Each structure stands twice: as structure tokens, then as C-alpha cells.
Amino acid sequence: MVVLSTAKEEGMTLTWDVFGIGTAAVDDLLLVERYPEADSKVNILESMRQGGGQTATAMVAAARQGARAAFCCRLGLDDLSRFTLSELQKEGVETSACHQDRQGSPYHSIIIVDTQKHTRTIFHSGGNVSPPPELINAELISRTRVLFVDDNSGPAGIKAARIAASLGIPVIADVEPDPPPEVVELLPLVDHLIIGSKLAQTLSGESSEPAMAFALCGTQRACCVVTAGEKGCWYAQRGASAVHVPGHKVDVVDTTGCGDVFHGVYAATLARGDSLPDAIALANASAALKATRPGGRLGIPDLETARAFLHGSHTQTLEGLTHA
């Protein structure tokens, strides 16, 4: 059992289980039989719009697991920003900490999903999602059990992580390949690092996932998880050898958002006080279930569905997935 009680709980009121600072996006999905070659045409089988983004989707996943989740980023006054807030609020994610001005905007992605090869191609326009650092203070951060940040959270995310460290609040980070330079300031503040094998290899200099997880956990972090798609993941806790959690066999439709879902479920489970092995097992299963539906959020399971999948109720589980 992981005990997350800290000094702040003795004198302050906890509002959230997980508070996330980082990326929000709007994803327009086009499902096609095959990705088109140059100078060719293909029929669109299905199109849809969903909310996306690393931290925003992670908070949706945490909320579907029953966690009290809140989200903070910079948004604009445009339709994409309004859509972003509406989708989060529908999921029960608290958005009162979001900052809106004319300079803010979510990322906007057009995602083409090849339904034969189960691959995706993402075209995106840059957003401006890092909130003003002056919005972040100890009173705000003290209201959560777990802090979640990503590599686009900017100076606000770094400030929040420093405050969390001073208060004894665990920090979870999602860092994608080719992160911005300021991520070097963020990484030392992260207690739970969950990253893909490509970036893990770059950061650790190791060639195998177990060695990557062990090296990146070291003696300073509580845990490092290295994810590797259908192979599952490897995780190492402080001072211990890496452990492999195999991937689940599912009928893959779209892997968009699988990593975000892993992060969000891990954060929710950690905040609930479950053991790290249990958190990773549930996160791994939830990410697999997400892959059975298109888009980053359509297939995110609730807690009951994810647990049923882990216990082998596969058919019932797939029928019970949350739909947008």
C-alpha cells in the first residue's frame, strides 16, 4: 500500500486527487482503409472530433477511474478552446484553474487512421497552453494528492513541481520524444516518470527497456516506467530491479492516446493509495482497452471495466467501454 498522506493534509482541505498542468488539444479524426499515396484519393470511412492532449486526456482517464481530477492550462476565446472546456466538464474534470486570454489556444490535430495497418499519421498546429506561472502557488498545489505535469507545461509546470516537492506531494510527468529544452529543469523534480522506450533510451543511454527503467529510476525517484507498445512495459522502483508487465492482446483500432490513458490511470490509482504494481497493471490494461476504439478518449475504460478486463472478462469488458 502506498500512503500519500502529507503534512498538508493535517491543516488543509484536499480538493482533488489529481491536478494536471499541461497540454490540451482538439483532435479531428479521419478513419480510412489505407493511408493515401501521393496524388491519390481514398474514401473516409468515418470522421469525428474528440478532445485530446497529454494532460487533458490523462485527467479524463483519471476521472473515469473515479478520481477527483482538475486541469490547468492556457486557452483562448475561440471555438476550439470552448470545445476543450466543454469536453472536460462533461467528464467531470474541474477546469476552474484554466486561464483564458486572446493569446492562448489548444493544439489542433488532424489524425488519419489507417484501419488496415492500424497506424496513425498526425498533422498538428501549435498551441499556446502553458499557463502564466503567477497563477501557480502553494495554496493551489496543496489542494491535490498527486500533481501531474507534461513537457508542455512550461515554467508553470516546473514551478508547480517545485512546490509539490516542498509539500511532499508526488509528481508524475509525461514527457514525449523531442521535448523542449526546459524539460531538463523538470526531470529532477519528478517522482514517477513514465515515458516511451525511444526517449528512455536517449535519456539513459541504455539499449534494453529493463536497463532504461533501472537507470532512470535510480535512487531519487519512487518509480520509472518505460512503455513499449504491444510489448507492455517495464518498471523499476527505487533500489530494485526492473519488472516486466506484458501487453494485452486486443483488436487494435487506434493507438492514439494510449500513453495518456496509461498516465491518467496510474495517477488515479496512485492517489487512491494502491500499490505501484497494482497501479501499473491497471494502467497497462486501460491503455490496451483504449486501443480498441478510435481517437484518444472514446475507449477510455472506467474502473469497473478495467478491473473486469484484468480478471479475464474480456467480452463483457469490451461491451462496457465508455462511449463519447
Kindly tell me the sign of the dihedral angle through the C-alpha atoms of 286, 287, 288, 289.
positive
Q: Which structural domains are found in the chain, ordered by start?
A: 15-190+248-319 (3.40.1190.20)
Model confidence at 9: pLDDT above 50: no
Q: DSSP letters of 222-238?
A: SEEEEE-GGG-EEEEET
Beta strands per DSSP E along the chain: 16-21, 25-32, 44-52, 69-72, 74-75, 99-100, 107-114, 119-125, 144-150, 171-174, 192-196, 223-227, 233-237, 243-245
What Å distances lie between residue 245 and 110, 155, 277, CA to CA? 32, 34, 9
Contact yes or no for 227/248 (Cβ under 8 A) = no
288-315 mean pLDDT = 89
Model confidence at 115: pLDDT above 70: yes
Q: Which of 62, 81, 65, 77 is nearest to 24 (CA)?
A: 81
Least confident of 6-15, 44-53, 75-84: 6-15
Q: What is the pLDDT of residues 188-199, one digit of tens each?
A: 999 999 999 999
- The neighbour count for residue 317, using CB atoms within 10 Å, is 22
Model confidence at 315: pLDDT above 90: no
3-class SS of residue 96? coil
Instruction: Please write down the long-range contacts of 214-223, taking CB distance under 8 Å and 24 or more positions apart.
Output: 214/241, 214/242, 217/193, 220/188, 221/190, 221/191, 221/192, 221/193, 222/170, 222/191, 222/192, 222/276, 223/191, 223/192, 223/193, 223/276
